[in-house]
Structure 1
Amino acid sequence: MQLRAAILLVAAAALCKNSQAAIHPYNKEYFYSVSDAFIFRGGREGLYASTKEALEKWGNWGQIAPGVANGQSEIKFTKLEFARPESLANQFEPDEGFTGLIQAVIFEVNDRNRIGYPTSQGYRYCCTKELVPKTKCSLERLIYHEKEDGWPKLLDIYFEDNQTIAYSFEEAITIEKTGMYYLWFVICDEYLSAATVRGQTTWKNPMGYLPGMMYPHIKFFGVMSLLYMTLSVGWMLLYARHWQDVFALQHWITAVVALGMMEMSTWYFDYVNFNATGFRPYITTLYAVFLGCLRKTISRVLVLVVSMGFGVVLPYLGAIQNKVMALGVTYFVAVSALDITTNVGTIDDLTSTARIALVLPVAILDAIFILWVFTSLSKTLSQLQTRKAGAKLELYRRFTNTLAIMVWISVGWIAYEMYFKVTDQYNEKWQFDWITNDFWHILNFVFLCIICFLWAPSAAATRYAYSELEGEEDYDLIEDGKKTPKPAEKAAANGEAKEDEAGKME
């Protein structure tokens, strides 16, 4: 019931949105008051420069090569319109000319200081009489300082006469320099503060519609799919060869390997489709997120129960099983909420405030898992050492060392991520941002490979499986392959010998 409720919660969260695209849609969006202006942020994406060939065709002939991967990088305005209240429009005459102005500004992150002007009263975006001598700006317009190359780009959209709608030109801004680009719609006239925007803008890179920060994911998940496929083939060959000796723990490892392969493949096709069409259907992304969350949850629960000795020292978990299940379901819900917010419907390089808030519960649950795992490992190692189960003890020591190394690497990488975010508040290093996220997939894969190696199906693997206490510790393997009787067996044998002797004496 708990798992079913968690799945329904995830599905409900996903259905709260509609399918979107790299084509940024605006549906009667309102402007927000920012300092002395009213601004609507139309998008932010990392864009690579158009190729030299595409620039030559565009510049000399006004042509664009066919296809999506045509080398052309651009921001295109499509069916963009702005609406003002009818009561405001009726204040003007039918032939009064321009009666309102909205400006669209496109700038690269390193040119952010060219937008607006700092004053003693705060940052100002709109031109006033006092600022004209200092900035050479035009009254009641956005303050911006154009460079020799014509950037930042500024487009004017006018309301005419007493019309309620202002239409933007169907225009495409070609990107000639790689960078993180912003699009703002700005109003400096307070009377237009109630205006809304609808329509769309299309952001395209030279190789397709994928935002620049996401583009490396195509190659990454393609490689990861091949690696998981290779691991799956190797594991299944051993699984099939020694199927009679396979025990419960190896079944769960098989499930994790299969989920990993399916997840990586789904992400790969999700990004390929997004890059080719500009649309990112929720169903594909949600499926990839579901597989990933399920894999993460099963992996963590599996590591926890193995640390407790399940299948090796314990035949079942007993009363603690409910606590393990509760933690697993809670983690699944938390990580699903985080991954849905991060991935489902994500079409640009904007950082979600909701995502930042959802990271904390997942981090706390991960800390609980780690603490519980190492506490359980300590008890399991003590039990194995007391029982002198040499083979199992050696296995668990390797497992503990591997887990400790992975935890230290994780802590180090988290520290690096924090440093990366703090020192790159404006995403100037956006081309390397994918590494901070995809590193976790690499670490998980390496850890899974080690687990597969430690618990690989083999004729001798059953010596790691649980058996009845009396039989479990009767024999221990030694280097020459012979079996050495354990103290309990020797004592029993001596007891039987003494009884036989006593019988003979009688």
Structure 2
Amino acid sequence: MSVLDSLAAISLLSVWFLCIEASVHDYAGEKFVSKGNAFVVHGGSEGIYFSLPNQNESAANCDSCIRFEKITFRRPKEYSNFSSRLVQALIFEVDDRETIGGSAYGGQRAVCCTADLAKLGVCSQGEIIHRPSSQNPGWPKVFGVSFNADELTAKLQPKSIQITKTGMYNLYFIHCDPNLKELVVEGKSIWKNPTGYLPGRMAPLMNFYGFMSLAFVILGIFWFSQYARFWREVLPLQNCITLVITLGMLEMALWYFDYAEFNENGVRPTGITVWAVTFGTVKRTVSRLIILMVSMGYGVVRPTLGGLTSKVIMLGATFFLASEVLELVENVGTVSDLSGNARLFLVLPVAILDAFFILWIFKSLSATLNKLQARRMMAKLDIYRKFTNALAVAVIVSVGWICYELYFKSTDVYNEQWQNAWIITAFWQVLSFSLLCVICALWAPSQNSTRYAYSDDGEEFDRDDTLTLIKPSPIPSKDVRSPPEVRPAHGGNDVSNGDLEEDKTE
């Protein structure tokens, strides 16, 4: 792998896992890492929209720029007895990546100018190899500073780089002097878009979460109005759905305020981010548990989950912990430091638990549908069939989107499609909201809510509407027999006991 490939790989990790502390990139003693014949510190990668230069704007108030503040390079005293070569800052747009580096006589591509290339007169030995961009005049930007003998620090002058072309920009601090051992960089770089400090890849998400907040408010108005009208008929399952809607409203609002604060100040509000992540994780966990319990027939064909309660709670708690850790690591702090293997280690448990949820849900749905059909509970059977179809569509769409997401990431190696990357995050929110709307439509509070609830009386009204017009005889005759599941009082107890026994054995 060449040095340029290494730089591209670093950029890829930094962008896809970019939930940096802010668009203000802080460097607190970052050490240079050897990459080929260069020593590199990755300073950041962000999508930036262009703005036309304004002669009246100051460097501190530019509309679209990358600004350097207090960038300082430090070396230990024991390695300070010589004058060094340049320590340089390199900024380039992803389309100009081929203008960085070179090779002599078809050899391995390198970032630092070698003696052979210096003899050809294409660069100065010990400096970064770069050529002017044909598409973006004046780019890439390369500037640096060197150490004099016995100097422990070297400072870059404050500088503001105006962005005049929309693109994915990469910043690296690079030196080519192997004698500069233990060199570190301190200070910060500030990346600004015309609309604020949000990275270009994340900027559309602020408006998206605003729209999602409005969508949850509309859903909440519908649900809570029905809840208030028929509060005497409300089932425990509907109370759980109310909790999910409330958590969703809070989550979307918190994400919007998180992005708005980030965009305004350039520093991500850690407290709001943690709360948004936590509410989102709780919502996803409760949603999965509700779907699982509904699939098992809780409150519909069985009064309790029986012996499965502890297993369901354990699965939910494990999923919550795994998801919370993953989301906190992805959204709080400097995620650029997280390697691909480390992130895979955190993603795998969540993916496995999700797959387990799906398998258990559909297995339980199959058993519940068979039970409803055997007991001829047609109203409940109809609602469960609709619920099953909605879940099946959601799973199929999810699998298709995952395949598209893998294709998107594998083909966009250099993040040239960064302006569309927000859609991947938005899709999962839209899908979960759509499924929640379906559940709300199927189980909305109404005057007939008890029609779908578990009952000890055999639920004869649910099997056929005409049966409700016939007053059952207290003494069964030889000519008119009760349906198999409608029995005397002691028979109803037998059915309930049978369900409980089934719960214990599942």
1:39-92, CA deviations, whole angstroms, 9 ceiling, x for partnerless residues?
Answer: 000111111102x3xx1x23xx464696xxx7x111111011000111121x24
Amino acid at match of 2:112: C
SS of 2:423 mapped into structure 1 = helix
Q: Does 1:220 align with 2:208?
A: yes
SS of 1:160 mapped into structure 2 = coil
1:187 to 1:485, Cα distance in 2 relative to 1, 3 A: farther
Amino acid at match of 1:344: V
CA contact (8 A) 1:475 1:483 kept: yes
| Residue 350 (structure 1) shift | 9.3
From 222, 239, 259, the equivalent of 1:251 is 239
Q: Does 1:125 align with 2:119?
A: no
CA contact (8 A) 1:187 1:193 kept: no
> What residue in structure 1 maps to residue 322 of structure 2?
334
1:230 to 1:134, Cα distance in 2 relative to 1, 3 A: farther
SS of 2:147 mapped into structure 1 = strand
Amino acid at match of 2:358: I
CA contact (8 A) 1:209 1:275 kept: yes
Pairs aligned (count): 460
In 1, Cα distance between the equivalents of 2:452 and 2:356?
27
1:217-259, CA deviations, whole angstroms, 9 ceiling, x for partnerless residues?
Answer: 1110000000001101110000000000001000000000000
CA contact (8 A) 1:100 1:160 kept: no
SS of 1:280 mapped into structure 2 = coil
1:124 to 1:492, Cα distance in 2 relative to 1, 3 A: farther
The structure with the largest strand share of the pair is 1
CA contact (8 A) 1:218 1:268 kept: yes
Tell me whether 261-270 or 348-357 shows the greater mean CA deviation. Answer: 348-357
CA contact (8 A) 2:75 2:184 kept: yes
Q: Does 1:203 align with 2:191?
A: yes
Give the share of equivalent positions with the same residue, in percent. 46
Q: Does 1:147 align with 2:133?
A: yes
1:88 to 1:476, Cα distance in 2 relative to 1, 3 A: closer
> What residue in structure 2 maps to residue 293 of structure 1?
281
In 1, Cα distance between the equivalents of 2:480 and 2:92?
93
1:325-373, CA deviations, whole angstroms, 9 ceiling, x for partnerless residues?
Answer: 1111111111111111221135889986533432222111111111100
From 477, 480, 484, the equivalent of 1:494 is 477
Q: Does 1:230 align with 2:218?
A: yes
1:414 to 1:295, Cα distance in 2 relative to 1, 3 A: same
In 2, Cα distance between the equivalents of 1:433 and 1:350?
19
> What residue in structure 1 maps to residue 50 of structure 2?
49
1:245 to 1:87, Cα distance in 2 relative to 1, 3 A: same
1:195-238, CA deviations, whole angstroms, 9 ceiling, x for partnerless residues?
Answer: 11111111111111100100001110000000001101110000
> What residue in structure 1 maps to residue 40 of structure 2?
39
Q: Does 1:311 align with 2:299?
A: yes
> What residue in structure 2 maps to residue 184 of structure 1?
172
TM-score (norm 2): 0.86
Q: Does 1:406 align with 2:394?
A: yes
Q: Does 1:104 align with 2:89?
A: yes
* Aligned-CA RMSD value: 2.4
CA contact (8 A) 2:72 2:186 kept: yes
CA contact (8 A) 1:45 1:348 kept: no
Amino acid at match of 2:69: T
> What residue in structure 2 maps to residue 502 of structure 1?
none
Structure 2 unaligned spans of 5+ = 1-19, 482-506
Tell me whether 418-427 or 356-365 shows the greater mean CA deviation. Answer: 356-365
Amino acid at match of 2:367: K
CA contact (8 A) 2:48 2:64 kept: yes
> What residue in structure 2 maps to residue 84 of structure 1?
75
Structure 1 unaligned spans of 5+ = 1-18, 93-97, 499-506
